[in-house]
């Protein structure tokens, strides 16, 4: 099975497992685990910040960041399809009493004009606008890279208005490879940045949140509250450290493989890329009603050994990653027009399937 559902499905490589097995460990809750400490230092340095905190998931790193910047009754501004709003159960509200105001982007991209006039005045009727979050690359925006100049303008505007800024950089290293702009350059505009080791970098577990020393000291308290204090976490941190050292540059391969899929979709009748460009490792496309629903299309592909996700009634998502070879991408790309053709002719019997989005 060629599994294109997500870049989270990767298995640790033999070298990564060896690094994990050999990891030096300590109790990172009582004091320090030396491997976690190394990972945190390397992550902070790569992102040009004073400190980093290792956490179990990207969701936790985002929620820790929300708690760092906002109190109950505060408001954050974010893009309508972003992970923090769309895929974290409204954790900002459930866990921290924070309200989100969503701004509709262009396939996940926001511009300064979208923010202007959005800060509430100081008035006892209103929540306090406190935080701007951006996502780079943008998951539901088909892995698009935020335009750098817009990011700079939005963050400058936010700080000028007394707001804090957080970057959900679950796939920041994809943005780095695609844009040629260094991670610390992207990060320099934000108070905190979250990065994931378990997406394209291919580690089994973990994310980090980075910022200045005082913020990350406070983040450690929030992590403990949320149940994210982990003891001999060096075992998993070693996988993340290995990923950070050896799997960043190779993301360019994932991007090339995504282009192979994109080209096939462009040449397939009844399918359309959304948006029409693919910038990194996520490919989102729409299927015409004549081919059935996205769930039917996904089920038909799966019968032939290629696994994608239906993420809407007509939308499918394919993500390339460490465990997808060029041959796999070519195989999947050949299958797309074949399956579309068979569905259009009614030659493929696919039982009605439950959508999963």
Ligand X SMILES: *Cc1c(COP(=O)(O)O)cnc(C)c1O
Cα separation, 131 vs 100, whole angstroms: 9
By CB under 6 A, residue 279 contacts ligand X:
no
Binding to ligand X in span 311-340, by CB under 6 A: none
Q: How far is the CB of 185 from ligand X (least distance, A)?
A: 20
Size of the site for ligand X (CB under 6 A): 13
Pairing of strands 282-287, 271-273: antiparallel
By CB under 6 A, residue 129 contacts ligand X:
no
Nearer to ligand X, 83 or 317 (CB): 83
Cα separation, 163 vs 120, whole angstroms: 11
By CB under 6 A, residue 274 contacts ligand X:
no
Nearer to ligand X, 145 or 291 (CB): 145
Query: 67 with 95: CB under 8 angstroms?
Result: yes
Q: How far is the CB of 59 from ligand X (least distance, A)?
A: 3
Query: 235 with 28: CB under 8 angstroms?
Result: no
By CB under 6 A, residue 83 contacts ligand X:
yes
By CB under 6 A, residue 168 contacts ligand X:
yes
CB-count exposure of residue 345 (10 Å: 0-12, 13-18, 19+): exposed
Residue 280: what are its φ and ψ, rounded to 5°?
-135, -120
Q: What tokens does 160 get?
A: 């000028």
By CB under 6 A, residue 135 contacts ligand X:
yes
Nearest to ligand X by Cβ — which residue?
58
DSSP 289-320: GGG--HHHHHHHHHHTTEE-EE-SSSEEEEE-
Binding to ligand X in span 189-228, by CB under 6 A: 196, 198-199, 207
Pattern 25-64, binding to ligand X, x per CB under 6 A?
A: --------------------------------xxx--x--
Q: How far is the CB of 169 from ligand X (least distance, A)?
A: 8
Q: What b/e sequence results for 113-123 when a residue is b if at least 16 CB atoms lie within 10 Å of its CB, and e otherwise?
A: ebbeeebeeee
Binding ligand X by CB under 6 A: which of 35, 96, 129, 139?
Answer: 139
Query: Which stretches of the chain bind ligand X, using CB under 6 A?
Result: 57-59, 62, 83, 135, 139, 168, 170, 196, 198-199, 207
């Amino acid at each position: 099975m060629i599994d294109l559902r997500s870049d989270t499905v990767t298995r640790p490589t033999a070298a990564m497992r060896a690094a994990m097995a050999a990891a030096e460990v300590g109790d990172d809750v009582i004091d320090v685990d030396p491997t976690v400490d190394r990972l945190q230092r390397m992550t902070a340095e790569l992102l040009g910040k004073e400190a980093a905190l290792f956490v179990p998931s990207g969701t936790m790193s985002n929620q820790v960041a929300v708690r760092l910047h906002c109190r109950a009754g505060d408001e954050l501004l974010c893009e309508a399809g972003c992970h923090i709003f769309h895929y974290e159960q409204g954790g900002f509200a459930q866990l921290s009493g924070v309200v989100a105001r969503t701004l509709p982007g262009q396939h996940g991209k926001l511009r300064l004009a979208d923010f202007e006039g959005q800060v509430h005045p100081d008035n006892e009727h209103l929540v306090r606008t406190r935080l701007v979050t951006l996502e780079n690359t943008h998951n539901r925006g088909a892995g698009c890279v935020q335009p750098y100049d817009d990011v700079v303008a939005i963050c400058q505007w936010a700080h000028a208005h007394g707001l804090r800024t957080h970057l959900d950089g679950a796939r920041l290293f994809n943005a780095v490879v695609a844009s040629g702009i260094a991670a610390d350059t992207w990060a320099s505009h934000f108070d905190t940045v979250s990065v994931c080791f378990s997406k394209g970098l291919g580690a089994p577990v973990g994310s980090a949140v980075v910022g200045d020393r005082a913020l990350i000291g406070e983040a450690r308290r929030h992590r403990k509250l949320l149940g994210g204090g982990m003891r001999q976490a060096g075992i998993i941190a070693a996988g993340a450290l290995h990923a950070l050292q050896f799997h960043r540059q190779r993301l360019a391969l994932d991007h090339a493989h995504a282009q192979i899929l994109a080209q096939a979709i462009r040449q397939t009748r009844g399918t359309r890329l959304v948006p029409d460009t693919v910038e990194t490792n996520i490919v989102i496309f729409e299927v015409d009603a004549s081919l059935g629903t996205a769930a039917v299309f996904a089920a038909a592909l799966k019968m032939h050994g290629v696994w994608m996700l239906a993420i809407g009634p007509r939308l499918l998502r394919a993500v390339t990653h460490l465990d997808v070879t060029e041959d796999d991408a070519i195989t999947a790309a050949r299958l797309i027009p074949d399956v579309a053709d068979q569905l259009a002719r009614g030659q493929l019997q696919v039982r009605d399937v439950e959508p999963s989005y």
